[in-house]
Amino acid sequence: MTYTRIIGTGSYLPERIMTNAELEALVDTSDTWIRERTGIAERRVVAENQTCSDMAIEAARAALDSAGVAAADIDLIVLGTCTPDRVFPSNACLVQRALGVQQGAPAFDVAAACSSFVFALDVTDRFLRTGGARRALVIGADTMTRLLNWRDRGTCVLFGDGAGAVVVEASDTPGILSTHLHADGTQEDLLNVPWGPGLGYERLDETSGKISMRGNEVFKVAVRTLGRIVDETLAANGLKKEDVDWLVPHQANVRIIQATARKLGLPMDRVVQTVQHHGNTSSASIPLALDAAVRDGRIKPGDLLLLEAFGGGFTWGSALVRF
C-alpha cells in the first residue's frame, strides 16, 4: 500500500505588519473589538510590488530546505489559492519556473477559497497513491488584502497575506490517512467576491472585486459544518476524539477554532492557533500553522493531526495525518 507522507514544511509572511490600531484610523473599529470577536492582533500585508506567487516561492523554498529535497526532485506542484497573480500562467507554473522544478512535471492551481490547501492536499494524495507522482510540493498562498475594501469594517479587519507549503513523498508507511472534501454552492450570497475576469472588465468597479460577507451568518455555518466534518473524519478511520494529538484548523477566527476544539473535547493547548499573528490568510492558514508548530517542536513525528478548513463556495474539508 502506498501512502503520502509529509516530509517537510515551510512558510512565509510578508514583512509589513499592520496592527489593529492602524485599522482604527481607517474604519470605525477598535483593537478591543477585533481581539474579542476574532482573536486577531495583527496581520501581514504584501509590498506593492509583491505577489501571491512571490510568497508561494519563499514558502516552497523553506519546505524543500526542511525536507532536504532538491527542487529538481519534485515531480508535481499543486497550489491552492483564490488570488493567483494572473489568469494564466497559474501560480503553480510560476513556482515551477522560479524554483527550477523539472520542466514537464504537472503544476496547477486549485481554487476552493479558504479550503484550497486541504483540496490541494487531497488531489496530491491521490496522485501519489496511484503512482502519478513520487514527490510533490503542496502550497497554500493568498494575498487576501488585495481583495479587501478598506472601508468595510466587517471584512477588512479579518484578513491578511501569507503562504505555507509542504513537501510530500510516496511511502510504505502511513502518512495521510484520509481526506474529506465537500462543497455547497447554494449559499454564495453569504460570502463571495462578486467580480472575476470572466465577467468582463466593464463590470469591475471599486467594490465588485472585493470580498462581500455576511459574517455572522458565515460564522454559524462554519461552526456547524466544521463540527460535522470532525465526526465524519474520525468515523471514517474508526478513531475516537482522544486519539487526535493536534487540531490544525483553518485560522479564520479564534471563536470558530475554540468551538471546533470543544466539539473534539480537545484542550486549547492541543490546538495550533496562529490567527492572532496574521489574521485569516485563506489557503495559507493551515500550512502556516502546521509549519509554526513543527518548527517550535510542538508537533512531533508520529503525532496524529486533524487538519480542517471552511471557506467561500461554500467549501470545506479535512485531512487526518500521521505526521
Nearest alpha-carbon partner for 112 in 281, 252, 282, 248: 282
Question: Is 315 among the residues that bind ligand ACO (CB under 6 A)?
Answer: no
Question: Is 215 among the residues that bind ligand ACO (CB under 6 A)?
Answer: yes
Question: Is 311 among the residues that bind ligand ACO (CB under 6 A)?
Answer: yes
Of positions 24, 31, 35, 37, contacts ligand ACO by CB under 6 A: 37
Q: Going residue by residue from 244 to 283, which x/- string records binding to ligand ACO, judged by CB under 6 A? A: --------xx--------------------------x-x-
Closest separation in Å from C-beta 256 to ligand ACO: 6
Nearest alpha-carbon partner for 304 in 137, 131, 177: 177
Residue 90 burial (CB count, 10 A): 21
Output the residue with the shortest Cβ distance to ligand ACO: 215
| Residues from 137 through 196 that contact ligand ACO (CB under 6 A) | 153-154, 157, 191
Q: Which is nearer to ligand ACO, 78 or 114 (CB)?
A: 114
Size of the site for ligand ACO (CB under 6 A): 23
Of positions 4, 9, 11, 38, contacts ligand ACO by CB under 6 A: 38
CB 320 within 8 A of CB 233: yes
Closest separation in Å from C-beta 193 to ligand ACO: 10
| Residues from 77 through 116 that contact ligand ACO (CB under 6 A) | 113-114
Q: Which is nearer to ligand ACO, 140 or 175 (CB)?
A: 140
User: Which stretches of the chain bind ligand ACO, using CB under 6 A?
Assistant: 29, 33, 37-38, 113-114, 153-154, 157, 191, 213, 215-216, 218-219, 222, 252-253, 280, 282, 310-312
